Copies of this chain bind each other. A is one copy, B any other.
Amino acid sequence: MNTLIQQAHHQIDFSNGSIAGKKVLTSAKRLKDMVGIFEDKGSFAIMDTNQIVYSVQAYLPVEEGKEGGLFYGKTTIEPGKVGDEYFMTLGHFHRNMDRAEFYWGIQGKGILLFMDEDRKCRAEEMKPGSLHYIPGKIGHRTINTGSTPLHFGACWPSDAGHNYEEILQNGFPVRVREIDGQPQIISVS
């Protein structure tokens, strides 16, 4: 008896990282889901808050919380700013603190912010092919500093989980602003 050769169950579109197949969840964050995140409240107040800031696809082959499994995802951050502050993700730590994650730039340009438990930050440029290791215990947020969508891929353990609360409550100690046409990372006073 010969074994059949099946098509792969999932397919990645290399142009933007999008994933086709079963068990792929899609979600979006709109401006109205990010009240209080951007500094410039005046600019925020006059924007269409129904617009999407970023969207996520996640292929979850096993249940969340399972030890030893992996998830694979893609995030797209739209180009845009609130005042001079670029569109970005909420950012998170992992619930299971020591779990790491890989990000890789696919299309567009941006910045990946890392924050340790002492709120010390560093930043790496994200661009097509950039590969970023996010160790455990490191909060991470991604910012689109370009004029086109920023697409990036991710792989993380299925028992990592997400802790958004820490960053929702305390934010990052820096903001990424466009100053003289260039992205700059400015400490929050």
Contact = CB atoms under 8 A, between A and B. Distances in A.
B121 A184 contact: no
Where chain A touches its partner, the secondary structure class is: strand
A150 interface: no
Which residue, of A6, A14, A100, has the highest number of chain B Cβ atoms within 10 A? Answer: A100
Nearest to A21: B131
Given A61-B133, A68-B136, A96-B68, A123 B7 contact: no
What is the count of identical protomers in the complex? 2
How many residues of A sit at the interface, in one of the four size bands? 35 or more
Interface stretch (A48-56, A82-90, A101-109): A101-109
Contact of A132 (B4, B8, B101): B8
Interface in A84-131: 96, 98-102, 104-105, 111-112, 121-131
